[in-house]
Amino acid sequence: MRRIVILILFIIPSLGGANTTPLYSIGAGPGAGNLLGGRPPWFTISPLLQCQLEARLKGHWFLALTFASGKNYDDSSARTNFKFGSDKNTRSRSHVSRDLILTFKYRKDIVANELSLFGGFGGGISIWAFKDKEGESILPVEGPHGETVNFSATEIIIGPSVGLEYQLSARWRLSLESRISYLTGAGSEFAEAVEDARPPWKAAITVNLNYLFGGRSQSLSQNDERRHPAKQQSEERDTISTIIGQNLLAAPTVPKPASSPPVAPQLDSDNDGIPDFSDFCPGTESAVRGKIDINGCPIDTDCDGIPDYRDRCPDNIIGGIVDKEGCPIDSDGDGVPDGLDDCPGSVSGLTVNSSGCLDDGIFAKAIIIPVRYRPGSFELDPGAISRLDTLALAMKVVTTAKMQIYGYGDDSGNTEENLTLSQKRANRVKDYLVSRGIAGDRLTPTGRGPRPSNIGDNIELRFNR
């Protein structure tokens, strides 16, 4: 196995030129792993070897094929699964496994072009066997029907993985990966007691060195450098003669230090400042320049699906529904945008709370409506009618609300006449509200006689629910 890994790492540099956009990676590295759970004696942490081939799918998503191989020993002196290594004198069995796992990964840059965080979930098969402490003979156990079978299987495994990656150069990347796998039982058939005793989990942590390759090559053709042998020899002789003659005639000069070869520019197809190999939105329009994130994608500050460079209202409250220009839609015109409005069919003109529903605080205290009465009159003025229209709308929404209407007379004249006038003024308010669709049994008009100094030419309304 070690020879295969060394051969792969020796060959892979020939798979892509220096100036390419990497689409794939291949790598290998050491690690440590162990079996978790089950019953004592516990297995101990032991070395393992991992190889991985990865392909970029789209955007932040990648597909990885991982092969891992390792051997673990139990230890009768171990009190947990987290002991490193075991002593030969305390071993009773070993566990040999080879896992092949297909994982979907999501990668996100933490530091642009240098440090990345990734996570994924996948599944595959584990070919394993419990052997004696020398690792030579497979142990016998009881099968599902009481027969004796080998303690080995090819079992389906599933589980997540997380890790960090550091970009060493344009072609090399170092990764630290942690993986935990659940042995599902699919593919293994043993007695129930055997199944209960064996460990159901596997955990591993590895360090991988990965080589990136694939994509479009920009290498020069070698055909332009080929020459006819005879012609090439003649050109070489002429060149040597010219150099010798120039050296004899020229004055001695101080040799200049050799300059470093020019660094090949990184390919940036959409000219947004993010190289293609780390650009998750490679087709960015020119209008977006200056308004992209570290991944080369347009910024959307308010997360409404309309990028900032096309958003006429870039600072919306998150969660509201917007139109094609990024501005909030308010179907009922109450000031609370759709998507955040718990009462999207509110009646226009009513005061609402932050959730877009009727603010029933209007029913909590007395309402004083100013009315400019002429002496001896009970007719309402336009200002009072407008206020009563709004109250009628509110009472249609809150059908349990009832209104007590108090009318007042003038501050001149005798008491009996003012009592009669105050009742007429209260009745006039009731009649108007009834004409606006409010049931009469919800309205109680009462005349209170001459107006007090703190009321004036007003109508006093009180509610109860």
DSSP 302-344: T-SSS-GGG-SSTTPPTT--B-TTSPBP-TT-SSS-TTT-S-T
Pairing of strands 152-167, 24-36: unpaired
pLDDT at 358 over 80: no
pLDDT at 224 over 70: no
> What is the amino acid identity at position 296?
G
When mean pLDDT is compared over 40-49, 262-271, 283-292, the highest value belongs to 40-49
Residue whose C-alpha is closest to residue 178's, from 105, 95, 111, 86: 105
- Residue 127 and residue 120 in contact, taking contact as beta carbons nearer than 8 Å: no
Question: How much is the mean pLDDT over the chain?
Answer: 81
> What band does 429 get if pLDDT is binned at 50, 70 and 90?
very high
Average pLDDT value for residue range 295-303: 84
Out of 1.10.10.10, 3.40.50.2000, 2.40.160.20, 3.90.960.10, select the CATH number for domain 2-213: 2.40.160.20
CATH 2.60.120.20 is right for the domain spanning 360-464:
no
Q: Three-state SS across 24-44?
A: EEEEEEEEEEEEECCCCCCEC
* DSSP annotation string for 86-118: --GGG---EEEEEEEEEEEEEEEEEETTTEEEE
pLDDT at 14 over 80: no
The pLDDT score that the predictor gives to residue 376 is 79
Residue whose C-alpha is closest to residue 181's, from 154, 198, 164, 199: 199
Grouping H, G, I as helix, E, B as strand and the rest as coil, residue 422 is: helix
pLDDT at 221 over 60: no
Grouping H, G, I as helix, E, B as strand and the rest as coil, residue 72 is: strand
Average pLDDT value for residue range 364-383: 82
Min mean pLDDT across 39-43, 90-94, 259-263, 352-356 is at 259-263
Average pLDDT value for residue range 194-216: 90
pLDDT at 252 over 60: no
What pTM does this model have?
0.46
> What band does 98 get if pLDDT is binned at 50, 70 and 90?
very high
The pLDDT score that the predictor gives to residue 20 is 47
Average pLDDT value for residue range 101-118: 89
pLDDT at 198 over 70: yes
- Residue 182 and residue 147 in contact, taking contact as beta carbons nearer than 8 Å: no
Q: Express each pLDDT in 303-331 by its tens digit.
A: 888 888 888 888 888 888 888 888 988 87
What is d(CA 120, CA 275) in angstroms, rounded to the nearest whole number?
25
> What band does 456 get if pLDDT is binned at 50, 70 and 90?
low
Min mean pLDDT across 7-16, 142-151, 153-162 is at 7-16
Beta bridge partners of 102: 65, 123
The pLDDT score that the predictor gives to residue 283 is 77
The 8-class DSSP code of residue 277 comes to: G
- 283's tokens: 């087709």
pLDDT at 9 over 70: no
Q: Where in the chain is the domain with CATH 3.30.1330.60?
A: 360-464
pLDDT at 117 over 70: yes
The 8-class DSSP code of residue 81 comes to: S
Q: Where in the chain is the domain with CATH 2.40.160.20?
A: 2-213
